[in-house]
Amino acid sequence: IQIYAYIFTNLETQQGYKILFTKLFKHLGNAAQQPVQFGHIHGGDSCIHAVTVDMCMKQAPGFGDFLHDLDPSKTWSEHLQHTVIFCQTHVQRNFFKKFKLHPARYLIDTIWDLPDTRDVVEHLDTIAQLYPKLKKWIDSKKKDWILAGLSAEHSCIPMTWQIYTWKYTGISKSSYFADNEFIRYKQILLAAVL
C-alpha cells in the first residue's frame, strides 16, 4: 500500500510540520480503523517501513519530532535514519532550482550510484573542491539523517524496504511534480510505503 499526501500550508516550521504529521497519521489511523504503526518502533510487516519526504530542514525534522513523540528512546534524527529515503529526482529538482544549470548537477546525479557512505562523503567533498560556491550546500548534506536518506549503507531501513521504496515511490512523486507545476504552492508531505 502506498500513502501519498500533500498539503497547502503557510506554516513552514519544524513545529508546524510536527503538528501536520501528528494530524495526518491520526486521520490515516481513523480511516484504517487502527493506529498507524512504524516498523522500527512497533515491528512487524503491517507497518510503515520507509518514507520519502522533502530534504527540507523543517519538514523532515518535523516528521522526526512526530516519531520521537511515539518513541522517545530515539532522537528525531535517529528516527529519520530508520525511516527516511530521499527521492533522487526531488534532490535534482531542488538543486536545479537553487543553482540552475550548474555543471555540478551531473555529479549530484551520481550520488545514488555510490556503494557506501564513505564514497558518498568523498564524492560530496570532491564536488565542494571543484565548485567552492557549493560548499555550504554540500556540507549541509553530511548530517547523519541526510546521509541515511542518500546512502543505503548509512540507512537503518532494511534493504528490502529501501529497494521497494526507491522503485515505487517515484510514481507518486512524479504525479506530485506534474501537479505542482500547475499549483506552485502545494507541498508534498509524505510518500510512504506500508
pLDDT of residue 117: 94
d(CA 121, CA 114): 10
d(CA 133, CA 98): 12
Q: C-alpha grid cell for residue 169?
A: 515511490
Distance, CA of 127 to chain centre: 22
Q: C-alpha grid cell for residue 78?
A: 535517529
Write the single-letter amino acid at 128.
A
pLDDT of residue 123: 96
Q: C-alpha grid cell for residue 96?
A: 536545479
pLDDT of residue 185: 46
Write the single-letter amino acid at 74.
K
pLDDT of residue 186: 45
| Residue matched to cell numbers 530542514 | 57
Question: Could you list the pLDDT tens digit for every one of the 194 residues in the chain?
Answer: 667 777 777 788 999 999 999 999 999 999 889 999 999 999 988 889 888 877 888 999 999 999 999 999 999 999 999 999 887 777 888 888 889 889 999 999 899 889 899 999 999 999 999 999 999 999 999 999 999 988 888 999 988 888 777 666 554 455 555 555 544 444 555 555 44
Closest CA relative to residue 95, chosen from 63, 127, 49: 127
Given CA atoms 66, 71, 75, 78 in this order, what sign does their dihedral have? negative
pLDDT of residue 81: 96
pLDDT of residue 192: 54
| Residue matched to cell numbers 537553487 | 98
Element (H, E) at 84: strand 84-85
pLDDT of residue 159: 85
- Whether the Cβ atoms of residue 84 and residue 57 lie closer than 8 Å to each other: no
CB atoms within 10 A of CB 89: 13
d(CA 70, CA 29): 14
- Whether the Cβ atoms of residue 97 and residue 78 lie closer than 8 Å to each other: no
Q: C-alpha grid cell for residue 191?
A: 510518500
d(CA 65, CA 21): 9
